[in-house]
Structure 1
């Protein structure tokens, strides 16, 4: 009983921290300084600034071994998805702007949603049919883009193929091999 309660409280804390880290952007490109108070009741459900976060899909049905490529494709409970070289699910963020030169996810948001980066000017991919490129990431590295959208992993995905970030806050989406967000 204590273990279940502690897991529920820990899960709630992770969800609250990840959601709080994704603040809205102002026209100046900096994150809005918004504060909100919340209390932990031991439940991981609720509506936040980005929508209902009470239900997220869990694990993928099949995760690939690390491919050596920057991006690859894997089968999941969502269908075929893009994953990074370690098999972690790739996500797009609705608050980003397609073909922008920078990411809208900075600060605490970037800690919860790390950018997928490459050391190469041309990312290596297997199975990805969308247009792959790079922008300068928030840390100065080369953040990978698909169809002009910056892509990220989710810090709360603990194993290759997890899809816990899918529809998170109603603004984070896994990506199909064609580079389209997977809604639902």
Structure 2
């Protein structure tokens, strides 16, 4: 039986596997090409483990909010009109139970409607009004973005940017609405 030096054996095995798995020739896509996305999914953690640029949790799941540096607020077109969105295009909502710019949504409510949190002054972009932006302190000390008189929230039922499934529904004792650029609820 003939034996080969170890480095040569490893090279031979690597070449065999490369050839058996499609190699780099022909019409096959390069091994490093990522698959085409089938649909939008919230961003996951970046290689440096920093949170995504939304107020959702680092894995993009609803139920918890992560503060965003200088939380961006902008205006986007939707099926219900021009609405406020975050930096990733996710719809922002108001809760009619909130009064005087203070949140009344905690515990189970905040899991279903995660607050839009910031680590610093929120930033108006693309149609949003800087003079309507502020923050309010939550019970845990986190700063929630406020637009006009309304603390802003996400809805756990929205799966991607542009969804407005939380608009005009009643939960946790009051109505929820998408917010217009004027700081008022979208009606109709």
TM-score calculated relative to the size of structure 2: 0.57
1:152 matched to 2:156? The reply is: no
CA–CA distance in 1 between the matches of 2:165 and 2:140? Answer: 25
- Can you list the C-alpha shifts for 1:100-130, whole angstroms capped at 9, x where unaligned? 3xx110100000000011111x211112126
Measure the CA separation in 2 of the matches of 1:93 and 1:163.
14
Report the counterpart of residue 123 of structure 1 in structure 2. 122
CA RMSD of superposed structures (Å) = 1.7
Q: What is the correspondence of 1:128-147 to structure 2 with a 5 Å cutoff?
A: 128-129=128-129, 131-147=132-148
Residues 128 and 179, structure 1, Cα contact 8 Å, conserved in 2: no
Task: Please show how residues 36-51 of structure 1 align to structure 2 within 5 Å.
Answer: none
CA distance in structure 2 between the aligned counterparts of 1:110 and 1:162, rounded to whole angstroms: 19
Report runs of 4+ in structure 1 exceeding 4 Å deviation: none
SS of alignment partner, residue 75 of structure 2: strand
Residues 122-160 of structure 1, C-alpha deviations (whole Å, 9 max, x = no match): 211112126110001244211000112111010110000
Q: Secondary structure at 2:89's aligned position in 1?
A: coil
Q: 1:164 to 1:70 in 2, by over 3 A?
A: same
Structure 2: 5+ residue stretches without partners? 1-69
Contact 2:71 2:145 in 1 (8 A): no
Q: Which runs of 5+ in 1 are unaligned?
A: 1-67
Q: 1:79 to 1:136 in 2, by over 3 A?
A: same
Which of 175, 180, 184 pairs up with 1:171?
A: 175
Structure 2 distance, partners of 1:144, 1:128, is 13
The 1-side partners of 2:140 and 2:104 are apart by 13
Give the number of aligned pairs: 114
**Could you tell me whether the CA contact under 8 Å between 2:112 and 2:156 is conserved in 1?**
yes
Q: Distance in 2 between matches of 1:159 and 1:139?
A: 28
Relative contact order: is structure 1 or structure 2 higher (C-alpha 8 Å, sep ≥ 6)?
A: 1
Distance 1:138 1:114, change over 3 A: farther
Q: Which has the larger radius of gyration?
A: 2
Aligned to 1:78: 80
TM-score by structure 1 length? 0.58
- Assess if the C-alpha contact under 8 Å between 1:93 and 1:172 holds in 2: yes
Task: Give, in whole Å, the separation in 2 of the partners of 1:98 and 1:163.
Answer: 25
Deviation per residue, 1:57-86 (Å, 9 max, x gap): xxxxxxxxxxx8521111100111000112
The residue matched to 2:154 in structure 1 has which SS? coil
